[in-house]
Amino acid sequence: MELRNSVIIVTGASSGIGAATARELARHDAIVVLAARRADSLDSLAREIEEQGGRALAVPTDVGRRSDIDHLVQTVLERYHRIDGLVNNAGVGGGSSMADSDDKMERIVMVNLLGPARCAQAVLPTMRERNRGVIVNIGSVAGDVGVSGIYSASKFGLRGLNDALRREVWKENIDVVLIQPGFIRTPMTKGVKMPMVEPEVVARAVVEAMQRPRRKLFVPWPYAPLAVLAKCFPWLADRIVGSGAAQKRYREREQIT
């Protein structure tokens, strides 16, 4: 997809991967719609983008609420009359286990799985009408390797949703891409003590995937063979994850964007 003048919604845009992706899209002259719960952070990022010659619109949105998603899409269509791209990035951090409260588990599924599904559902009519569009879902390596209770379940679900949606719309010139980040240095991983890449690395991968779509991409790339290893040797993954080290690292993460 040609990014110049394309209208692209980025959810979870107030920080981390979402903010980095918004900046990278703006540098490619896209019109970026910033969606997240924190209005002050969105306004600050919109000003930053505009001061650097870009174009941005901030729309406070909680993707856990269907009414917020509908308002987001309606606002964008009223202003720009089209939606060319969607980056489903908003998510709840991975600090979860089966001992979590019912409310916490419900919130994780609501934001990490139903949120992206509803956002995609909301933008598809305008994409189908124009026979054009790209949807990028930000998943997680935890969606390939179960490490963290309901968080992994939500990301496994997102991977399944991504595959099903891609197959549903492939004849309509709408591309659906899954980005699977590992540990990335964002507010969501604050306190995790291990080497991590910056969110800008993921942002560049998102932009490249929108320009030249592919089914799935791990960021950084060394996570790809690890995921394959876990599938080929599940007994080994059971021992490594079951030792508690990987789970501990994921439990150190907990933030909603």
Q: What token pair was written down for 164? A: 């099903």
**Which of the residue ranges 50-59, 138-147, 154-163 would you say has the lowest mean pLDDT?**
138-147
Band the pLDDT of 194: cuts 50, 70, 90.
low
pLDDT digit string (tens) for 8-41?
A: 999 999 999 999 999 999 999 999 999 999 999 9
Q: Can you give 188-252 as a three-state secondary structure string?
A: HHCCCCCCCECHHHHHHHHHHHHHCCCCEEEECCCHHHHHHHHHHCHHHHHHHHHCCHHHHHHHC
- Express each pLDDT in 65-105 by its tens digit: 999 999 999 999 999 999 999 999 999 875 656 667 888 88
pTM: 0.86
Query: pLDDT tens across 223-242, in order?
Result: 666 666 666 666 565 666 65
User: Could you tell me the domains of the chain?
Assistant: 7-251 (3.40.50.720)
The residues that are catalytic are 151
pLDDT per residue as tens digits for the range 173-191: 999 999 998 777 666 655 5
3-state SS record for the chain: CCCCCCEEEEECCCCHHHHHHHHHHHHCCCEEEEEECCHHHHHHHHHHHHHCCCEEEEEECCCCCHHHHHHHHHHHHHHHCCCCEEEECCCECCCCCCCCCHHHHHHHHHHHHHHHHHHHHHHHHHHHHHCCEEEEEECCHHHCCCCCHHHHHHHHHHHHHHHHHHHHHHHHCEEEEEEEECCECCHHHCCCCCCCECHHHHHHHHHHHHHCCCCEEEECCCHHHHHHHHHHCHHHHHHHHHCCHHHHHHHCCCCEC
Res 255: pLDDT = 47
Residue 245 neighbours by CB under 8 Å, 6+ apart: none
